[in-house]
Amino acid sequence: MRSMKKLMLAGLAATTMLSSSAFAEGLSGELRVFSDMSNPAPRAVMEGMVERFGAMHPDLDIELTVIDREAYKTQIRNFLTADAPDVANWYAANRMGPYVNAGLFEDISDLWAEPEFAALASTKGAMTIDDKQWGVPYTYYQWGVYYRQDIFEELGLTAPATFEEELANCEKIVASGRACYTIGSKFLWTAGGWFDYLNMRTNGYDFHMQLARGEIEWTDDRVRETFANWRKLIDMGGFIEDHQTYSWQEALPFMINGDATAYLMGNFAVPHFRDGGLTDDQLGFYQFPVINPDVPMAEDAPTDTFHIPANAQNKEAAREFLRFIVSADNQTLINAGDALGQLPVNAESSVDDDKFLEAGFNMLSNDAPGGVAQFFDRDFSAEMAKAGMEGLQEFMVYPDNLDDILERLEFVRQDTAE
């Protein structure tokens, strides 16, 4: 654990892009901030936010404590209980659930009722438990389908808007001697992304989150419908062979070399595509297509957050710090390519001049009315996520095992609910 006292930089208030006029004045006392942003670039982002906020409130003494990310995960419950800071990093949705249910995070629904917070609407559902909001988002990144635009053009295909179009495209791709999708499921989580999208497109975000909370049986016919849609792609040979032997990085060359035409993946894959020699003219992106037109489009966009511990001492300053964190200018600054290199959650922010960041920002800000999920291994409990992703990978290799898989997952659901 390392602590850093706020450094007051001369002239910082004059040079920062953020104006103090939008924020409360007269804050004083001490503001203690705990963060797990321990890697060099995120740490610099965290330190920069503290410095800029401190320049706006010179009578406030800010103490930033940065803890190694893995150590933070084991320490958070202890410090929230015993010696809580005023602000702490964490994650959205079910990952914050244990601390909300234990009474360790502060209800900040009053902040979300302020007009400025309307620009964060895409993640409000992910910050809500029991109809109350328990933190604020500061960064996320999109998932979607990255594809070989040049091969689509060669085959006379366009990016699909519906699942029927996706299936029709896949038939033509397979007929050309290619796989539709590359995937490396050796470490399981990539199969979770496929289930997330197929389930949210088949049954909707609310159903998906009810399943994640253990409120719906895995043997439910609606879950079976999700797997039936998935099997259509499996049965036509849509995925590369032996994907269970590859990591997600080891599966990249199949798309780079043109043996597969698409990858359902997070935006963090884009630098790897570029490093592999694909140009932006060859590489495209599209939103996972509609399956059920009656459910709004929801997306996977893992979201990092800040919270006020219930036992915080300076909640007034903490609330002001959260207002600062979610402001459009701050989110533009911290998510830039030389900082976090991700997407601002505030829809009034701007992003770097990058076609994939722009596409993701537009999708999440405007085209995801169904909500934002946090990805399978964040949304489901640890026990359910482990068993679930094992079952999802098994289904992709042995789809005839579905009944056994669903019965095992239902046993885990019931066991963890007790």
- Average pLDDT value over all residues in the chain: 93
Q: In angstroms, how far apart are the furthest CA atoms of the chain?
A: 69
User: Across residues 117-125, what is the average pLDDT?
Assistant: 94
Q: How confident is the model at residue 26 (pLDDT cuts 50, 70, 90)?
A: confident
For residue 313, the Cα-to-chain-centroid distance in whole angstroms is 30
Residue 40: CB atoms within 10 A of its CB come to 8
pLDDT of residue 189 exceeding 50? yes
Q: What is the DSSP letter of 117?
A: G
Q: Provide the token pair at 106.
A: 């502060």
Token pair 């830039």 in the structure block, residue: 336
Q: Provide the token pair at 271.
A: 């630098």
Percent of the chain with pLDDT over 70: 94
User: Across residues 322-350, what is the average pLDDT?
Assistant: 96
Q: At what angle do helices 205-212 and 189-203 cross, to 10 degrees?
A: 130
pLDDT of residue 119 exceeding 50? yes
CA distances from 223 to 195, 202, 332, 370, 413 (A): 10, 9, 39, 18, 14
Tens digits of residue pLDDT in 210-236: 999 999 999 999 999 999 999 999 999
pLDDT of residue 115 exceeding 80? yes
Min mean pLDDT across 7-11, 80-84, 294-298, 397-401 is at 7-11
Quote the pLDDT of residue 48.
97
Token pair 């702490």 in the structure block, residue: 88
Token pair 């330190």 in the structure block, residue: 47
Min mean pLDDT across 25-29, 215-219, 251-255 is at 25-29
Quote the pLDDT of residue 94.
85
Q: How confident is the model at residue 24 (pLDDT cuts 50, 70, 90)?
A: low
Check: CB of residue 36 under 8 Å from CB of residue 1.
Answer: no
Half-sphere exposure of 73 (CA within 13 A, CB side): 4
pLDDT of residue 8 exceeding 50? no
Q: How confident is the model at residue 368 (pLDDT cuts 50, 70, 90)?
A: confident
Quote the pLDDT of residue 9.
28
Q: Return phi, psi of residue 81, to 5°.
A: -85, -45
C-alpha 300/C-alpha 281 separation (Å) is 25
Q: How confident is the model at residue 59 (pLDDT cuts 50, 70, 90)?
A: very high
CA distances from 404 to 83, 241, 243, 395, 398 (A): 47, 23, 21, 10, 11
Check: CB of residue 1 under 8 Å from CB of residue 65.
Answer: yes
* Helix (H) and strand (E) counts in the chain: 18, 14
pLDDT of residue 395 exceeding 50? yes
Bridge partners, residue 64, by sequence:
4, 33
Helix or strand run (H / E) with residue 143: strand 143-148
Measured over the CA atoms of residue 259, residue 262, residue 265 and residue 270, the dihedral's sign is positive
Quote the pLDDT of residue 72.
96
CATH numbers and ranges of domains, the chain: 2-139+305-349 (3.40.190.10), 143-300+374-417 (3.40.190.10)
Measured over the CA atoms of residue 363, residue 365, residue 368 and residue 372, the dihedral's sign is positive
Residue 405: CB atoms within 10 A of its CB come to 21
